Amino acid sequence: MPASKQKILIVDDDANIAELISLYLNKECYDTKMVGDGESALEAFESWKPNLILLDLMLPGIDGYQVCREIRQKSQTPIIMLSAKGEVFDKVLGLELGADDYMEKPFDSKELVARVKAVLRRYRPQSDGEAAASDDKIVEYPELSINLTNYSVTYQGHTLDMPPKELELLYFLASSPNRVFTREQLLDQIWGYEYIGDTRTVDVHIKRIREKIHDNSHWKISTIWGIGYKFEVTGE
């Protein structure tokens, strides 16, 4: 039996664009629902429980930023923000509010589908069978355990609520202790496709990670000025 389709909520007040996006995604066997304003988006999120949200910024009533903020207060469901060329779109603000990615309209249909797949692949919870069949990818340090198999982070005995990209970035750095990575290398490794954006994306995610975990006497996330970052580990 085929697995149930993954559900994508399309939030855009331009019905033509929403229909076009829906067409692209339906061809890839995704189930889609379209709404045209922020309030309807929040209602559909609660009732329909999508696997991913494509969220336009300029919406009547509640704008995309506020929709993202409200959803992030209760869920880590992936969100890709959409903005029209020429609109003032603060990418850093969008990322700080918890968006997983952003795209500028008009966009290429293949790129949209590729980004949707990339974000969903990172977020997709594994079944018990998959977890058992795969090798656990776990990095452990004093007071910190990062598990890439089930996408969980335990810090000081507590499980942290950490979005997929933050977790992957932390895991990648911690997997290569004391190795310096440039921001460009981290963009390439974590985002997994040719990412057209600026390296502040990495800085924003590092900032969000640092808000959740603090330097330990044995390890810390160090900024290498003018270059990038490293997960610094000291001796016992």
Domain residues of the chain, as ranges?
7-123, 128-233
d(CA 131, CA 129): 5
What rounded mean pLDDT belongs to the chain?
85
Architecture of domain 7-123: 3-Layer(aba) Sandwich (3.40)
d(CA 164, CA 168): 6
Q: Give the pLDDT mean for 33-50.
A: 96
pLDDT, tens digit (0-9, with 9 covering 90-100), for 129-141 = 444 434 568 899 9
pLDDT, tens digit (0-9, with 9 covering 90-100), for 213-224 = 998 889 999 999
Query: Exposure of 46 by Cβ count < 10 A (0-12 exposed, 13-18 middle, 19+ buried)?
Result: exposed
pLDDT, tens digit (0-9, with 9 covering 90-100), for 81-122 = 998 866 666 777 777 788 888 888 888 888 888 889 888 877
Q: Which token pair is 18?
A: 């929403």
Peptide bond into 2 cis (omega under 30): no
What pLDDT band is residue 162 in, cutting at 50, 70 and 90? confident
Is 192's pLDDT higher than 70? Answer: no
CATH dotted code for 128-233 = 1.10.10.10
Highest mean pLDDT among 47-61, 102-116, 148-162, 196-210: 47-61
Is 198's pLDDT higher than 80? Answer: no
